[in-house]
Structure formats: structure tokens, C-alpha cells
A and B are shown apart, each in its own frame.
Chain A
Amino acid sequence: MSKNISSLSGREGKELDDPLWERLQQAAARTGTPDDEALTSISEEYLIGEAITYGTSSFYDFLSKANRGKKAYVCNGSACLVAGTQDRVHHELEKHFRPEEVGHMCCLGRCHENSAFHIGGRNYSGDAIDRVEELMKADPRDADVLKHPGMDRHHVGTSMAQPILTAPMPSLEEFYALWEQVLKSDGADVLNEVKVATVRGRGGAGFPMGLKWESARNTPGERKYIVCNADEGDPAAFSDRYLLEQRPHLVLLGMMIGGYCIGADSGVLYIRAEYPEAVEVVKQAVADLEAKGWLGRNIKGSGFNFRFKVIKAAGAYVCGEETALLNSIEGKRGEVRTRPPYPTQQGLFNRPTVVNNVETLACVPWVVKHGGAAFAKLGTERSNGSKLVCLDSGFKRPGLYEVECGTPLATVIDELGQGFARPTKALHIGGPLGGIVPLHKINELGIDFESFQKAGFLLGHASVLSIPADFPMVKYLEHLFAFTAAESCGKCFPCRIGLTRALELVEGTAPVDRARLEELLETLEVASLCAHGGGMPAPIRSILAHWPAELGLA
């Protein structure tokens, strides 16, 4: 990563006040990609050279030249793929758009009803594809985005008597009374509650949030940041979307409390471009907080300053990796950084930064209100609190469920999801890097880090995608490699080349060469710079182990 560009992009007056990243997006707004004149003038203003603005824009799906003229996007995520709905979506859209105007987005988080697509800056799913003509006339700038005709409905349930994340929201005054209380407390005491709670990161890695906060708190720095990673675009996961759209204040207050604990005066939410509604809801929620005086300088006479910046991403799955995400906010290519230095030492604009996932942050208000011990009491030994689980359209009752950590997977499937809606042979849990779980393994698993790790799987976002019995595993394997190869940032060599070679091995009709595939998997696992390449072998090995016949393996 270039520290020079980070510093230039982070200069006073630019930084989050006039981010390079947003200037590139504004320049792309008219045609889908910035023209050469804009790239040059922006680079001159930011003192970075036109190659840099060009290099950045070439990295992102919704800034690159390939995006020019795109007007409609078909979701090509895993859940819509296995549901088999997207050929028809594509066909219908081509009645209204020229073929070159139709692109792809992955994934829109409409996994509970599929047929997902994006037009006019809005997402649609389910039977909306039958009303494209009418939808094209809808004004995307409705006052209340949540009442937009494109907004979906899905079941939200819980098996908990007192849910943490899905409980009804009190009034803002009642909710932010906690903030006024925090502002009168010692940040060290608040941080201690978060440490006692042991909130492990919900984005996949499971790293304890309190340790990150403590590290950033202890790193000296005039300006620090807390960043919400709302770019974890695991196909089949829509839990972050739920929180951002339906419970934005849980996330925002979580960040404000985090900022107070570590001494950060700025909170940045980096939200997927594939969730345009979430971006708007969160921006409105921030405006509401500003109006109430819970943000700004010397908040409620506490001497503490805090502001938010909501950043919309531009289509790069790898930006869910925290260092790639930081590069993106800086207006750079979303390449993964090496560690050390860790973000808590040298993160956004070279300054101490905490990056937490949406759901992790959303737990914080509850932890601070009820105490860390109360949170730690819930769940298993090493997985505290609750977890949101998403069930796709392959269940009789698809939707989003909050369960106490440790809840058996079988309970989630049979009781909350009411069982499978179609003959099913496997579950893909925890995003593309999660394991492919054969049905006979369901009883070994609970919604917690330990049981998944023990079985060689990954809890991740706890998204549950059901692979239909008649969906060929070799096709799913090909989909996984096609997705990850296309989304590789291209920095480290094993991932950049290896995923493409793996895709070439499994494409077509010839039997898969197992020895060579396993050799590639080992290279990816041992040598990749981040989990994008390094985590890929896990689901592939599940497929090799449990469905060898489907791959034509002896």
C-alpha cells in the first residue's frame, strides 16, 4: 500500500470532508465510469497523478470502464443461482434494456425470495420482475426509502425470550439516554464491559472486539477512526442489511460508544453499493442524530467530539477484508495490506483505526446497558451472546432469525425455518469461504464458533444456503471459483493466478483432476495473503470429500 497516497488523500480538508473516493463516484455518476478529463482533474486536485485515479477506478465493478452505460443489474449470487430464477430475470430485463445495458451485481441480499435485480438505483426481488415497465417509472427518490415498492418483506423471528438485535426499538430519546450516560462515564470502564462480554467479531474471523478497541485506545494518535465494515457481501447473508435498514441505531450507537472508548472522533460506515437502500437509511439516521445534538463537537457538554461519514462502496467483494476496505475509503485500489502494521496501529489515512463488522457493533448498546457479564452469560463457552442466522428460499419459512449462540443448527432448520421447502442435499453456511455441509453433519453443529471449527467449517455470517438435490455440485464448484477468481484483488500471486487455474480445472465436462486441484488448494491455503484465497480450500474440500462421484472423481 502506498503511504504517500494515503497521506495525500487524508490531507486536512480532503480526508472525510471531501473524500477522493466520493469524487471518483460522482465523476462516474453520469455514464457509469469517470471520463479521462475527470480522472485528470481529480488527480491534480489531490496531487496524486492521473495513473492513481485511473488505477482505482479500474478496480471496482461500478467505476470501471466495463460499467459504462449499464442500467440494469441481475443478481448473480449463490442463492439466486441455485434457485434457478435468474435466466428469466435476465430475459425479462432484456425486453426493456439493450443487452449491453444489463450487468451483474453480487449479491443483493434478497436470498429469501430470489429473482433479484437492480434498476434505477433500487433493488427488487420476488414477483417484481413481472412489473419492470411500472417499476422503471417509479421515482427512486421517495421520502421514505423503506416504503419504496422495491422493499422486500421476510420473516424475522427469534427463539430468545429477550433478543438483543431483533427486539423492538424504543424511541430515540429512550435509546440514546444510554449515550448521555456513557458520555459521563470513564471510557476505560465502558471498554471493560465490552471486554468482559467477549464480543467476538461476527464478520468471520471471530476476533474479540474488546482487544481491538484496547489496542487502538493504547496507540497514541491525534485523530483515530472507528470503521463499520458493512461490505461483507457473502452471498446468502442478509443479516447486515437487516441491521442497517431496520436497526441502524444499534450500529450507530455501537460506533459512537466505540469511538468514545478508543478516543476516535470519526466513525465511517463503508456500505455495499449492492445495498442502496441501506446507505440511504443510515444517512437519514445520522441526520436524525445530528438534529438531536448527539453528534458534533462537545456533545452534550462532555468535551467529546464525534462525527459520522457514510461511504458507499462500488462493487468489490474483497473490500469486506478490512485492510482492502480502508484502502477503498482512501480512494485507492481495494488491495489487501500486509500486517503488521495492524489497522489499530496504522489504519485509515495511516492513523489508528478499529474496523468492526455491522452485527458486532450492533451488540454494543445491549452490552453497555446490561453489562458485559449478562452478555457473557448467554451462549457457549467461547461464543457469547446471540447470532443472526439467514435462511434462504429453500426453507419453508425463509427469513432472518436471532438465536442464542450454541443453539443447535437442527433447531434453526426444523423449528425456525420449518424444514426444507425442496429436496436438499447440502447447506452452504457462512458465505463463499464457509463449508458445504452435508445433511448428515447437521447434528454436529450449533450456531457457535467452536462446533463449526471442530467440524472444519466456518460460521461466518451464519448465512444458510440450501443446495437443491438436483443442483449439480460441479456447477456449484465452478460458480465458487468463478466468483472468487473474479473478486480476487490480484495482489498476491497464489490467489491471483491460482483461482483462475482452479476455475479452468473444473470448467467443462471433463472429470476433475483431483491431484492437481488439491495441489492448487494447498498452495492457496498456505501462501495466500488473506482469507480470500486462503479460505477457499475449505468449501472445495467439503465437496471433494462428500460428492466425489458428482465431480467424476474415481
Chain B
Amino acid sequence: VSASGVVLTVDGITVEAAPGSTVLEAARFAGLWVPTLCFDDRMTPFGACRVCLVGIEGARGPVASCTTPVREGMVVETQHALSRRIARNVVELVLSELPVPPAPHTELAQVAARLGLDPAAGPAAQRWTGAVHEQAYDHRHPYLALQHELCISCGRCVRACDEVQGAFALTATGRGFHANITAGLGGGFAASSCVSCGACADTCPTDAISERFLVELAGRDQ
């Protein structure tokens, strides 16, 4: 333990973390799993999905580990019962907004399964029935496909385009439940400042944006 690090414990494991780093980073450094949907370590933490909740001794309630800086002597519990229950509730709500189940290989499906939900169940089997996103498949670009109905507004593609690529080709649109993403002025990737780098497809946790080659292999572009 050096003088410069911040020492904390996560699930009983002592971790020395860099000052200014986050609880999520410390937990992952300790080899622990914390569910996340909007997090990608290539980009600035966003704090949107609220699935990375953990318990911290002395805190008033669960905190989002991706945006909480480490503090000396902090005692973190990743399996904190309330945090996990609420995280599960949030992911259940996310599944309920999709008109079709997420593909099994997606990050959303895997996080959902690990939290004890059935990602393949589909909208009819959800406890939360109600509005779902409208199906809109945009395949005007030769390489990138955009399925608006699978967007969960995690902002990863928008941040990748901004922070990793600097292309500013993507944006969130609308507000509330109707928030979604679009390229350019809504005319698709081809008509935007997109440079076809694929960073958005790479980070997308639901395949709302995917590389067309892969989509076609899967036989979805009929």
C-alpha cells in the first residue's frame, strides 16, 4: 500500500485505488461483477442506467458506482440486497420497453439473465405491459444498421461518436419514454457526418446499432 493510493474495501477485499477513480473501477479491479448497461470504460461515466448500484456503509441508500469517487476507508458492498433488487427492477423495466427480446449475445440479455430475469421472454411475458418502442429499421447505410426499437437510450453510441471518434454524427432525440437516437438530422448514417468507424455498433449493448454484415449473416435483413 503506497501513500498515494486510496484504500477501501469492496465485499471485504482490500483495494488500493487511484485517487479520483470510481467505486465501479475499484470493484472490477477486485475481480467483482457489478452489472452495468450505460458504462463503457472508453468513455466518461454517464450515470444513466442506474444498474450499477452498490451499498456503501454510512450512505443514505444505494449509489451508482460508476459515478461515485472512491474515498479512503470506504466500505462497499456489491451484493447489497436493496441495490441488487432495484437494479433488477430497472432491467426488468428496460426489457419491457422493447417490442422484441434482445438477442442472447447482447450485453442487455446477459445482464438481465445474470440478474435472474428471462431476457428471451418477450413483451407478452413481461410484468410491465404497456407502451413499447415503435419498430423502425434504418438500413440506408451500406455498413451500419439502426433498429430504433432496440434503443434503450444508454447514450453509449452518442458518447463513442463524440468522445472516441469526434464525429458528432449521433445524438439522443426527444424526451422521456420517447427518447431515442438518430444520426445527423434523422436522415440516417449515410446522410450524416458519420465516418463509418463502427465505434457506435461496437459499444451498443442491444444491437440497436449493428454492423450490417453481421445482421445479414443472422438473416434479419429480409
A residues touching B (Cβ–Cβ < 8 Å)? 2-5, 36, 39-40, 43, 48-52, 54-56, 58-59, 64, 316, 333, 335, 338-340, 485-494, 496-501, 504, 516, 519, 522-523, 526-529
In the complex, chain B residues whose CB is within 8 Å of the CB of A491: 46, 48, 153, 155, 179
Contact indicator B175/A4 (Cβ below 8 Å): no
Contact indicator A522/B90 (Cβ below 8 Å): no
Which stretch of B60-68, B113-121, B142-150 is in the interface?
Answer: B60-68
In the complex, chain A residues whose CB is within 8 Å of the CB of B18: none
Q: How far is the CA of A493 from the CA of B112 in the complex (A)?
A: 14
Contact indicator A523/B184 (Cβ below 8 Å): no
Contact indicator B96/A497 (Cβ below 8 Å): yes
Q: How far is the CA of A486 from the CA of B179 in the complex (A)?
A: 11
Distance in angstroms from B78 CB to nearest chain A CB is: 16
Distance in angstroms from A211 CB to nearest chain B CB is: 19
In the complex, chain B residues whose CB is within 8 Å of the CB of A504: 130-131
Please give me the residue from chain A that is nearest to B49 by CB atom. Answer: A493
In the complex, chain B residues whose CB is within 8 Å of the CB of A59: 173-175
Q: How far is the CA of A206 from the CA of B193 in the complex (A)?
A: 44
Q: How far is the CA of A54 from the CA of B130 in the complex (A)?
A: 28
Given contacts A36-B185, A526-B61, contact A4 B163 (CB under 8 A): yes
In the complex, chain A residues whose CB is within 8 Å of the CB of B152: 493
Q: In this assembly, does B86 line the interface, its C-beta being within 8 Å of a C-beta of chain A?
A: yes
Q: How far is the CA of A490 from the CA of B38 in the complex (A)?
A: 13
Given contacts A49-B168, A529-B50, could you give 10 more A-B pairs where the C-beta distance is less than 8 Å? Answer: A4-B163, A485-B176, A496-B179, A497-B96, A500-B176, A504-B130, A522-B86, A522-B89, A523-B89, A527-B89
Using a CB-CB cutoff of 8 Å, which residues 32-80 of chain B contact chain A? 37, 44-51, 53, 61-62, 64, 67, 69
Q: List 27 A-B contacts (CB under 8 A).
A: A4-B166, A39-B185, A49-B168, A49-B192, A50-B184, A50-B193, A51-B183, A51-B185, A54-B173, A55-B182, A333-B171, A333-B172, A340-B69, A486-B175, A486-B176, A487-B176, A492-B48, A493-B49, A494-B50, A494-B93, A498-B93, A504-B130, A519-B89, A523-B93, A527-B53, A527-B89, A527-B90
Please give me the residue from chain B that is nearest to A35 by CB atom. Answer: B185
In the complex, chain B residues whose CB is within 8 Å of the CB of A528: 50
In the complex, chain B residues whose CB is within 8 Å of the CB of A523: 86, 89-90, 93
In the complex, chain B residues whose CB is within 8 Å of the CB of A497: 93-94, 96-97, 177
Please give me the residue from chain A that is nearest to B193 by CB atom. Answer: A49
- Residue in B48, B61, B192 whose CB lies within 8 Å of A493: B48
In the complex, chain A residues whose CB is within 8 Å of the CB of B62: 526-527
In the complex, chain A residues whose CB is within 8 Å of the CB of B186: 54
Q: How far is the CA of A36 from the CA of B159 in the complex (A)?
A: 23
Q: In this assembly, does B103 line the interface, its C-beta being within 8 Å of a C-beta of chain A?
A: no
Q: How far is the CA of A170 from the CA of B54 in the complex (A)?
A: 55
Using a CB-CB cutoff of 8 Å, which residues 7-53 of chain B contact chain A? 37, 44-51, 53
Q: How far is the CA of A4 from the CA of B44 in the complex (A)?
A: 11
In the complex, chain A residues whose CB is within 8 Å of the CB of B173: 54-55, 58-59
In the complex, chain A residues whose CB is within 8 Å of the CB of B169: 49, 51
Contact indicator B185/A529 (Cβ below 8 Å): no
In the complex, chain A residues whose CB is within 8 Å of the CB of B175: 58-59, 316, 486-490
B residues touching A (Cβ–Cβ < 8 Å)? 37, 44-51, 53, 61-62, 64, 67, 69, 82, 86-87, 89-90, 93-94, 96-97, 127-128, 130-131, 152-153, 155, 159, 162-163, 166-179, 182-186, 192-193
Distance in angstroms from B64 CB to nearest chain A CB is: 7
In the complex, chain A residues whose CB is within 8 Å of the CB of B49: 492-493
In the complex, chain A residues whose CB is within 8 Å of the CB of B90: 493-494, 523, 527
Contact indicator A501/B130 (Cβ below 8 Å): yes
Given contacts A50-B184, A522-B86, contact A490 B172 (CB under 8 A): yes
Q: How far is the CA of A523 from the CA of B50 in the complex (A)?
A: 10
Q: How far is the CA of A335 from the CA of B131 in the complex (A)?
A: 22
Mostly, the A contact residues are helix
Q: How far is the CA of A58 from the CA of B153 in the complex (A)?
A: 15
Q: How far is the CA of A3 from the CA of B168 in the complex (A)?
A: 12
Contact indicator B128/A501 (Cβ below 8 Å): yes
Please give me the residue from chain B that is nearest to A490 by CB atom. Answer: B179
Q: How far is the CA of A493 from the CA of B88 in the complex (A)?
A: 12
Please give me the residue from chain A that is nearest to B69 by CB atom. Answer: A340
Contact indicator A496/B47 (Cβ below 8 Å): no
Distance in angstroms from B101 CB to nearest chain A CB is: 16
Please give me the residue from chain B that is nearest to A48 by CB atom. Answer: B168
- Residue in A40, A52, A494, A522 whose CB lies within 8 Å of B171: A52
Distance in angstroms from A194 CB to nearest chain B CB is: 28
In the complex, chain B residues whose CB is within 8 Å of the CB of A50: 184-185, 192-193
Contact indicator A58/B50 (Cβ below 8 Å): no
Contact indicator A51/B166 (Cβ below 8 Å): no
Q: How far is the CA of A39 from the CA of B152 in the complex (A)?
A: 25
Q: How far is the CA of A523 from the CA of B62 in the complex (A)?
A: 11
Please give me the residue from chain B that is nearest to A488 by CB atom. Answer: B176
In the complex, chain A residues whose CB is within 8 Å of the CB of B51: 493
Contact indicator B178/A490 (Cβ below 8 Å): yes
Contact indicator A55/B172 (Cβ below 8 Å): yes
Counting chain B CB atoms within 10 Å of each CB, which of A4, A488, A496 scores highest? A496
In the complex, chain A residues whose CB is within 8 Å of the CB of B153: 490-491, 493, 496
Q: How far is the CA of A504 from the CA of B130 in the complex (A)?
A: 7
Given contacts A4-B166, A496-B153, contact A54 B193 (CB under 8 A): no
Given contacts A48-B168, A55-B172, A59-B175, contact A527 B94 (CB under 8 A): no
Given contacts A2-B159, A492-B50, contact A526 B86 (CB under 8 A): yes
Distance in angstroms from B62 CB to nearest chain A CB is: 6
Q: How far is the CA of A499 from the CA of B93 in the complex (A)?
A: 11
Distance in angstroms from A493 CB to nearest chain B CB is: 5
Q: How far is the CA of A516 from the CA of B89 in the complex (A)?
A: 11
Given contacts A4-B163, A49-B168, A51-B168, contact A501 B96 (CB under 8 A): yes
Q: How far is the CA of A48 from the CA of B192 in the complex (A)?
A: 12
Distance in angstroms from A338 CB to nearest chain B CB is: 4
Given contacts A493-B94, A493-B152, contact A527 B179 (CB under 8 A): no
10 A-B pairs closest in CB distance: A49-B168, A55-B171, A490-B179, A338-B47, A51-B171, A488-B176, A527-B50, A504-B130, A500-B177, A497-B93
Distance in angstroms from B191 CB to nearest chain A CB is: 9
In the complex, chain B residues whose CB is within 8 Å of the CB of A526: 53, 61-62, 82, 86
- Residue in B87, B176, B185 whose CB lies within 8 Å of A499: B176
Please give me the residue from chain B that is nearest to A40 by CB atom. Answer: B185
Given contacts A49-B168, A59-B174, A522-B86, contact A500 B131 (CB under 8 A): yes
Q: How far is the CA of A40 from the CA of B169 in the complex (A)?
A: 12
Distance in angstroms from A31 CB to nearest chain B CB is: 16
Q: How far is the CA of A504 from the CA of B184 in the complex (A)?
A: 33
In the complex, chain A residues whose CB is within 8 Å of the CB of B61: 526
Counting chain B CB atoms within 10 Å of each CB, which of A49, A489, A501 scores highest? A49
